[in-house]
Amino acid sequence: MEFQHTNIPRQIKRLRLLSRVLLDRETKAEHKLILVAADRSEQTQSRCTTQLPIVIVVREVNEYAPEFDIGPAVTTESGRAVGDNNQGNRLHPAVSLFSNTNPRSSSGLSDVKNTDQLLTATIDIPENMQLGSRIYRILATDKDYIKTSEPPQAGKQSKIVQYAVATSADLNVRRFFRVGTDDGWITLIHQLDYEVGPRSFLMPVVATDTGRPPKTGSLRIFLRIIDVNDEAPVIEVRGLGLLPHMHTGLQTPDIPFPSTFNPQTLTVKENMPPGTFVAKVSL
């Protein structure tokens, strides 16, 4: 920003300072200049001058919506991020994260109606995940953000991004998961069960800044529940002559039974021909 004028008539007592370029606070927050006024004495050596330092502070305007960063594309079996920049603590060790779309960030979308345009992440969660587990931390950055640790200055506006499940989310999403308003952690609040269901959730989340007016970025998270081998097979026997208790004389001494084993005893006449129906066994 510059100001210079060497041929100002004496009768002009008011000047205007105009910007020559488009100002951008993110590029340069302050502009400093010195306004010099000199009289029109015919003797150059006897001219008097006055200097006025001017500091122009560019006030912040909320130009940018928060942009989501999914983070690592995949994780190892231990949950450590592959190719991630110090963001491995964003994932629970038991889950896996996959990025489904490019580019890696999405902003300026105030709702999740146009889902084809949204950045999407897929998270695989084992069904035996403990209640209260923090699954994944969503993060969004705001280009308008100014660190609150800086001393307050004129024109600066503190920005904090807050997270929430979008209003269009299914009720089951809110029943099973919670999103931290300030930290962005997705927390499990209801026990999962692959056999009972649901086996998948579509969670649209939004990040909103505190600018005036506020702007919102959106992210779509697809949560898949992974089956865990936590149920032993159940054997059901239906047949003729089924006794409620096994006769002690029929137990084979060479085959030990577990303490929780509840044997079933079937009776059949010794003179029944081969092929006679005895029992139906199902798993």
Domains of the chain: 21-60 (no CATH), 66-101+117-142+159-226 (2.60.40.60)
Alpha-carbon distance values, 7 to 1, 2, 12 (Å): 20, 16, 11
Q: Using CA of residue 55, residue 56, residue 62, residue 65, what is the dihedral sign? A: negative
Please list, in sequence order, all residues whose beta carbon lies within 8 angstroms of the beta carbon of residue 5, skipping any fewer than 6 positions away. 15
pTM: 0.60
Closest alpha carbon to 93 in 85, 83, 81: 81
Token readout for 98 is 């996959």
Per-residue pLDDT of the chain (283 residues; tens, 9 = 90+): 555 555 555 566 677 888 888 888 778 889 999 988 887 777 777 778 889 999 999 887 888 889 898 875 444 444 344 444 444 588 899 998 887 654 333 433 333 333 445 688 999 999 999 999 999 999 998 887 654 334 444 444 445 899 999 999 999 999 999 999 999 999 999 999 999 999 999 999 999 988 888 999 999 999 999 998 877 777 777 765 555 444 444 444 454 555 555 677 777 787 888 888 877 877 7
Q: What angle do CA 43, 47, 51 make, to 5 degrees?
A: 160
Distance CA 251, CA 23 (A): 92
Closest alpha carbon to 114 in 224, 220, 201: 220
Q: Whose structure tokens read 């006030």?
A: 59
Longest alpha-carbon distance in the chain: 142
Strands 216-226 and 120-126: parallel
Q: Whose structure tokens read 């006025």?
A: 52
